Structure 1
Amino acid sequence: MSHSPGPASPDGRWSIGELAEHANVTVKTVRYYSDSGLLPEAGRSSGGHRRYGAEALERLRLIRSLRTLDLPVTEVERVLDREDALEDVIAGQLRQLGSQLAALRWREAALQLLHDCTPEERADRLRLIGAVSSPPSTDAMARFWRLVLPPRLPARLVSAIIEAAVPQPPDDPSPTQVLAFARLHALTEAARPDLCRPGPTRPYEGLHPALLYDGLAEAYALASAELAAGRPPRPGQALDCFVAAHAAAHESKDSPSFRRRLTPTLLQAVDPLMARYWNLAATVTPQETTMGSSHTWLLAALTGHPEPRDNIEAPTGS
């Protein structure tokens, strides 16, 4: 049951002790908020003691409520100075708390990973995990792709490829995902991009790499839908789009002869480093298809069905 504050002193103001008593806080707390500038004084007594008006009680209660949410003093001051600042402050604190929780969940999974491994594995895993920031950053992977991709590729395509190729660390990772992410980070940090052939995005010696990458993006999206539906590699729009992208880059057209030339070229382009990259990426985000898995599906479709659809009978049961 709440009680109304008692009468103020004869001058209509409270001493610091009286305000503390009405607010059910210590004198030290009132002094701290006063010294911080959050609780202005209404004046001083003839003896130089702090005096507060009745409005200070509600302000002090508001300050206490905001502080129970662990809002820093600077943020409390924003709310007190601007009535419309509370929503922004709350949103900012939620973002910050989300980041802190993600970092804690990452640390928990990393510690569990170290706890569950053998003594022989521990030193290597500790080295891998120690190289990853907390919360984990994808900067090394993004930098790797910027070096691998053609230098004159339009910025919009570079951004789109990086967004699709770089797996984001899970919000609530398992130890297996932490290990895969750490290995992926180490792989891209140590790799020499000048020696890499990045599999599904290899810049073939065509005259129009932008056409190739634009077409591949569409083909991978179509193949991703096929994978999500559990369909095996087969002729169709995804494969046609895939071949058309390569044909456009070479100023050619889809034809039986072009497919016969393209198939061994793509098979030879399979690179162990990139295969490992896509395997690790798939472990980090197992619920998502990757560019690598889409490329593998399309290459299998091309290998198993080398003729354009105009040259073969339409498949049944599709």
Structure 2
Amino acid sequence: MDEEKWKNLEALITGLDKVVKAAAVNTRTRSLADRVTALQSDFASARASGDATMRDHIEMAVQELWANVERWSGVAPKRKISEWLADFSIAGLIGLVVLLVVLGLLVAGIMLFTSAVGWKALMGVDGTRPILTVAAIIATLAYGGGLIFSALYSNEGKFEERFRMAREIFLVFSGVFATIVGFHFGAGNNGTGGAGGVENVQQLELDVRRGAKPGELELSVTGGTPPYTVTTTGTNIKTISPAQHDRSPIVIGITREDPEKSSTVSFSVVDRVGTKKQIEPKREVLDALFGGLSGAGSGAGGGG
């Protein structure tokens, strides 16, 4: 029985020595080489003298080294859930729960918003701004609040130190929150112009030319904010209802009521924020359209 213990211990040391020598250089496992060599020397001395007490000490040391090697190499036994939870404080667990809840709420909110407005709405800035703003605000409040809670109610350090840490976290996240809210409202009011303010929206620029098909005019709109509401007026032309257009150029069909009489045409364009501009096609454009009986003016009118 005693000899069997010596053989088992020798096998453990020999196997450990092989694993350590096979490990890559500059790794934690390879750094155990000197300790394994010392244990081999102690084992040889203990076996020669038959010292059972020394053998038991060597066996404990070998078992400890084997446990380290198994853990470092990823082959250690799986830890129980209770062991994993023991690594977290109560504040840490609360923060983890808050993180998961916030992620779930964000995903659910984005899906509901997308189902309401449609995926095409996300292609524009106006469609994505609500999602980005709400997500940033919720994340800032939730994560900032979680960090403040963890700092205040941690079991480590004095209360004064925890309070100072929580105050610093609050200052950082309050600045981030203020920036997000300011950007949201600033973007919403962009271009409206306040009292004494500067107009930020690009002015509307209009141009009219003959269309590709007979009886059509092309109205080109640059600047402003779409959609554009186009109102067509004139003399000796059939009534055209005002219509909204998202893109330029805008093709408008013109039909005269009496082909023998001259006609005039005028377009009034209003963009989404209320910027207005009017234009009358040049004489040569209407002459080409109506065959010389236009009676048109010579250019564009002023903006409203």
Query: Into which bin does the TM-score normalised by the smaller protein fall?
Result: under 0.3
- Normalised by the length of structure 1, the TM-score is 0.26
More strand, by proportion: 2
Higher relative contact order (CA 8 A, sep 6+): 1
Specify the structure having the higher radius of gyration (Cα).
2
